[in-house]
Amino acid sequence: MKQQWYAKKWVVIAMHIAAWTLLFSLPFLLRPSYESNNAHQSNNHNDSFSLMKYVLTSWLWAAFFYLNAYVLMPKFIYKKKYWEFALLQFIIFVIQIIFDWILFETFLTGRNYQLKPAILFVFFPYIFMLATSTAYRMISDKIKYDHIFQQKEKENLTTELSFLRSQVSPHFMFNVLNNMVAMARKKSDLLEPSLIKLSSLMRYMLYEADEEKVPLEKETEYLQSYIDLQQQRFGNNVSVNFYTEVPDKSYTIEPMLLIPFVENAFKHGTGIIDNATINIELKAKNNLLQFMVSNKFNPASNEIKDKTSGIGLTNVERRLNLLYGESHSLLITKNNDWFMVSLQLNFH
């Protein structure tokens, strides 16, 4: 997956630098711009030393921020070593006071260092940095884990869809090859054109079916080739009506999503059935696909034609749920001696 611009390392570093610059510039930005009447109490020399003390203190607070976020949190909080973490925080707080005293004595000579006000002066920035660094680490970890979780979900979805599609392909090929065997035994003149159609179907399955989506027009051609091969096999024993209405050629669909319905109709709508009939209708307009398949079947026959019966419809229902969720509706009904499938889905 392409990395987002805001997740790039140099962008993150630039954002951190900008945040620290803004934070430590606030005292100067918010300071009144008038000259004090007591200006004699401070001079430019002392101001420069105060600025140096402030800059070094700011660096120490920034160091504490990253120390807590990247070292102390993972080693102690995430491992539930809360007492050790609290003790280290107390030690760091004492060290901050000692550094404050050292910097004070170094840069602000001539002034008395008072411990009690200094503790309060260090305490509030310390609490602020502790809270912000803890929140920063927890939020960044949450974002990272959510991203990893989404990646795993996407990988699992891709793997499952590939597995379901691979189950459809061998099942379909099994039926088509049986058709070829039957025609070869009959030495039918239709074997050669049937093999040509089969080669086009295999080309579609091996190359284009690996795409995430294909033009709906190609999926329709795939259905038509499959129907032609089946009609060559059954001849006048089954009546097939295939109607399509796709005025917009820009629609795309997941490959081999519709074939299981047609395959199921031929599997269960042929054989010992009076006036075997299969009706297939495909319409696509206003970003809505309507696909209906109906076939006559023998209610008295409960035989399972082969061990793979039902795999196709189960797989396609699973794929529809994974790919379209609430954006599709699938209705499967039996009425007298008719088995009907109605699929509606929104293109996206």
Question: From CA 155, how far away is CA 223, in angstroms rounded?
Answer: 29
The two three-digit tokens of residue 56, written as one number:
């070094």
Over residues 12-30, the mean pLDDT reads: 75
pLDDT at 39: 46
Higher pLDDT, 76 or 169: 76
φ and ψ of 193, to 5 deg = -60, -30
For the cut 90, the answer to whether the pLDDT of residue 292 exceeds it is: yes
256: closest CA among 224, 214, 194?
Answer: 214
Question: From CA 158, how far away is CA 165, in angstroms rounded?
Answer: 10
pLDDT band at 47 (very low <50, low <70, confident <90, very high): low
Please give the model's pTM, rounded to 2 decimal places: 0.54
Q: Cβ-count burial of 99 within 10 angstroms (0-12 exposed, 13-18 middle, 19+ buried)?
A: middle
How many of the other CB atoms lie within 10 Å of CB of 139? 10
Q: Which residues make beta-bridge pairs with 245?
A: 283
Higher pLDDT, 139 or 163: 139
Taking only the tens place, the pLDDT of each residue in 171-185 is: 556 766 777 787 788
Domain-by-domain residue ranges, the chain? 5-26+45-113, 150-346
Taking only the tens place, the pLDDT of each residue in 102-161 is: 877 776 666 677 777 778 878 888 888 889 888 988 888 888 888 777 766 766 666 666
Helix (H) or strand (E) segment spanning residue 293: strand 288-296
Question: From CA 192, how far away is CA 203, in angstroms rounded?
Answer: 17
Assigned superfamily of 150-346: Histidine kinase-like ATPase, C-terminal domain (3.30.565.10)
Name the pairing type of β-strands 288-296 and 277-285: antiparallel
